[in-house]
Amino acid sequence: MKILHTSDWHLGRSLYGRKRYDEFDAFLTWLSETIQQEQVNVLLVAGDIFDTSTPSNHAQKLYYQLLCRVANSQCRHVIVIAGNHDSPTFLNAPKELLRALDVHVIGTISESPEDEVLLLHDQDGNPELIVCAVPYLRDRDIRTVEVGESIEDKERKLIEGIRGHYSSVCELAEQKRAVLDVELPIIAMGHLFTAGGATVEGDGTRPLYVGSIAHVTSAIFPECIDYLALGHLHVPQKVSGSEVMRYCGSPLPMGFGEARQEKSLCLVAFAGRAATVELIKVPCFQQLESIRGNWDEIASSILELSVTQSHAWLEILYEGEEVITDLRERLEEAISGSAMEILRVRNSRIIDRVLNRNHENETLDDLNETDVFERCLDAHGVPEEQRKELMLSYQEIVSQL
């Protein structure tokens, strides 16, 4: 039996205003072909299918096209859980219709953990796999709010809530296995941030809860799990060094910080309950290049790319001592006649020295929501002793939204 673990497609995401539908289409076409070639039996999508809770019609079309392609292949089951970017109600709306195609969608937790425990059958109707499909656990799903509770109380409740939910779902999975009296493998899915997880600058990954959720360790997951398929972090990685606890990572680079990162999916093969994992490299569908340095270094790098007839999208970070007020014009001239496109230019010389670090040349593309709030605190002269509580309250509001 072969299972393909993927996550964090972020369909509909743009990069500095540039639409990426061609990339998403190319990836999903490649994905359906890979499922055929590798004779995959089960496809797992561990959250963040879409980039926003209100995906465009084009993004939705790509999603449903992929599901139809997979339904017409030898792949017997698709299991989709919601991530923090997804709308639970949007994903859940067609779930009854999709179930007819053996596509199982879990957008949110319900009153019964039984709904997240899926017993899958092979082509002959025999039980072959149990999947604990746990979606992104929102704060309100796992924690009760009490007046006057401390930050430490909030964090403790979150961790206990996550641990308790996985314990309940996995206990039901073990009960199913015991009733069948067959040593079926148990897979658990999730969308969360574990301790020690690696991220890169600009990948769009953000804290999921108030405070430091990095305290959530691999110890919260029950021992009965034979493979843990996680989403949320965009860098492919193991959890606590385990071969069978993994983030597959995003299939496309979400920002220039991931430009040189090798993307992959996890192909999991089971012999009984023993899992082996093979990484399948995802092709690069759109080259991204981040170029930094003084003018000579930048011009040289652009020339090298031009010689190779590159179609790259470029991020330029000028760090030279010379003040260049017409940097954008020079750069456009340097790439003229090529297939390259400049998506972002940051002139640190102008920003840091000419403008005396007043942030006047920044746009919202250069900031995240935390940066904006910090600027508000600075602008209003909020005392340092008040900032921690204000920042945590703000993060709580953002996580609820």
Q: How many CA atoms lie within 13 A of 309 on its CB side?
A: 0
Three-state secondary-structure class, residue 44: strand
Q: Can you give the pLDDT at residue 214?
A: 46
Structure tokens at 367: 């900031």
Q: What is the residue whose two structure tokens read 């993004």?
A: 59
Q: Can you give the pLDDT at residue 155?
A: 79
Q: What's the whole-number mean pLDDT along residues 98-103?
A: 93
Structure tokens at 161: 């809530």
Residue 193 and residue 173 in contact, taking contact as beta carbons nearer than 8 Å: no
Q: What is the residue whose two structure tokens read 């040289």?
A: 300
**CA-angle at 24, arms to 2 and 136, nearest 5°:** 65
Angle of the 295-307 helix axis to the 327-335 helix axis, nearest 10: 20
Residue 157 has phi, psi (to 5 degrees) of: -65, -40
Q: Kind and range of the H or E element at 391? A: helix 384-400
Q: Which amino acid is at 109?
A: I
With cut-offs at 50, 70 and 90, classify the pLDDT of residue 211. Answer: very low
With cut-offs at 50, 70 and 90, classify the pLDDT of residue 202. Answer: low
Residue 351 and residue 320 in contact, taking contact as beta carbons nearer than 8 Å: no
Instruction: Kindly report the average pLDDT of the chain as a whole number.
Output: 88
Residue 338 has pLDDT above 70, yes or no: yes
Express each pLDDT in 369-386 by its tens digit. Answer: 788 888 888 877 888 888
Q: What's the whole-number mean pLDDT along residues 250-271?
A: 93
Q: How far is CA 4 from CA 171, 187, 243, 316, 336, in A?
A: 24, 12, 15, 36, 42
With cut-offs at 50, 70 and 90, classify the pLDDT of residue 140. Answer: confident
Domains and CATH numbers, the chain: 2-281 (3.60.21.10), 288-400 (3.30.160.720)
Buried b (16+ CB within 10 A) or exposed e, 34-58: bbeebebbbbbbbbbbbbeeebeee
Buried b (16+ CB within 10 A) or exposed e, 284-307: ebbebbbbeeebeebeebbeebbe
Strands (E), 272-331: 274-281, 288-293, 313-318
Burial class (CB in 10 A: 0-12, 13-18, 19+), 65: middle
Residue 246 and residue 239 in contact, taking contact as beta carbons nearer than 8 Å: yes
pTM of the model: 0.84
Query: Do you know the residue count of the chain?
Result: 401
Neighbouring-strand partners of residue 277: 268
Give Cβ neighbours of residue 254 (< 8 Å, ≥ 6 apart).
8, 10, 13, 202, 203, 204, 234
Nearest residue to 189 via CA among 166, 208, 172: 166
Residue 107 has pLDDT above 80, yes or no: yes
With cut-offs at 50, 70 and 90, classify the pLDDT of residue 206. Answer: low
Residue 30 has pLDDT above 90, yes or no: yes
Residue 209 has pLDDT above 60, yes or no: no
Q: Can you give the pLDDT at residue 77?
A: 96
Residue 215 CA to residue 13 CA, distance in Å, equals 29
Q: Can you give the pLDDT at residue 353?
A: 47
Percent of the chain with pLDDT over 90: 66
Q: With DSSP H G I counted as helix, E B as strand and the rest as coil, what are the percentages for the chain, rounded to 5?
A: 35, 20, 40
Give Cβ neighbours of residue 69 (< 8 Å, ≥ 6 apart).
28, 32
Structure tokens at 154: 């909030």
Residue 127 has phi, psi (to 5 degrees) of: -60, 135
Give Cβ neighbours of residue 174 (< 8 Å, ≥ 6 apart).
186, 224
Report the C-alpha dihedral over residues 375, 381, 387, 393, rounded to 10 degrees: -70
